[in-house]
Amino acid sequence: MAGSRRIALVVMGVSGSGKSTVAAGIADALGLGFIDGDGLHSPESVARMRAGTPLTDEDRWPWLARIAACLADEVQWPAGLVIACSALRRAYRDRIRAGAPGVRFVFLDGSAEVIRARMAGRSGHYMPESLLASQLQTLEPPGADEPDVQRLEIVQPVEAVIGAAVRALRG
C-alpha cells in the first residue's frame, strides 16, 4: 500500500470497460478491500437494467450514497477500499466525493467498439449490450478540473492497466 495513507478508490467507466476486473486487481495488488458497486444497486434498479431500461438520477442517488458510505468506512476498511462503479456523470462523482472526502478515481476509457466487443464476450451479467449507447450518452468524461482522476486507456492488456493504476496510486 502507498505508505500509511488510507486509499479510497473508485474504478469508473461504462459497462464493459473492465471496472470489476481492474478494481479487483488493484485491490489485490495493494492489499485493499474490494466491492463491485453493482452489488450495491437496489433490486428494483437491477430489475430495470435487466429489462433494458436505463436508470434515472433518482434511481442512482441512493446507490451513490451507499458507495460513498462504503468508501468512507474506515472501521470496516482501515487500509482502504476499491469500488467498481460507473460514476458516469460529474454530478455522480461529486456525490461520491461529498460522502467520501479524499476519494480518488481511475477512469477506464475506451472506444465504443472495444467495449461492445468486450460486452459480447461476457456472460451472466445483467447489463445488456443494448444499454451501452445510453451509458455512452450519459458519460461525462472527467476533465482537467478533476485532478483526483487518473485516465487509463483500456486497449492495453488488463495487467498493464492494473499496473499503471497501482503506480499512479503509489506515486
- For residue 24, the domain's CATH number is 3.40.50.300
Range of the domain at 141: 11-170
Residue-level pLDDT at 40: 96
Instruction: Look at the chain and report how many structural domains it folds into.
Output: 1
Is 63 within the bounds of a domain? yes
Is 83 within the bounds of a domain? yes
Q: What percent of the chain has pLDDT over 70?
A: 89
**CA 82, CA 84: separation in Å to the nearest integer?**
7
Is 6 within the bounds of a domain? no
Side chain identity at residue 60, one-letter code: R
pTM for the structure as a whole: 0.88
Q: What is the mean pLDDT of residues 118-137?
A: 64
Decide if 71 contacts 63 (C-beta within 8 A): no
Is 64 within the bounds of a domain? yes
Is 68 within the bounds of a domain? yes
Is 2 within the bounds of a domain? no
The single-letter DSSP state of residue 56 is P
- In angstroms, the Cα distances linking 55 to 5, 21, 60, 135, 164 are 35, 23, 7, 10, 31
pLDDT exceeds cutoff 60 at 96: yes
Q: What is the mean pLDDT of residues 65-78?
A: 98
Give 73's contacts (C-beta < 8 A, 6+ positions apart).
Answer: 81
* Residue 1 binned pLDDT confidence (cut-offs 50, 70, 90): very low
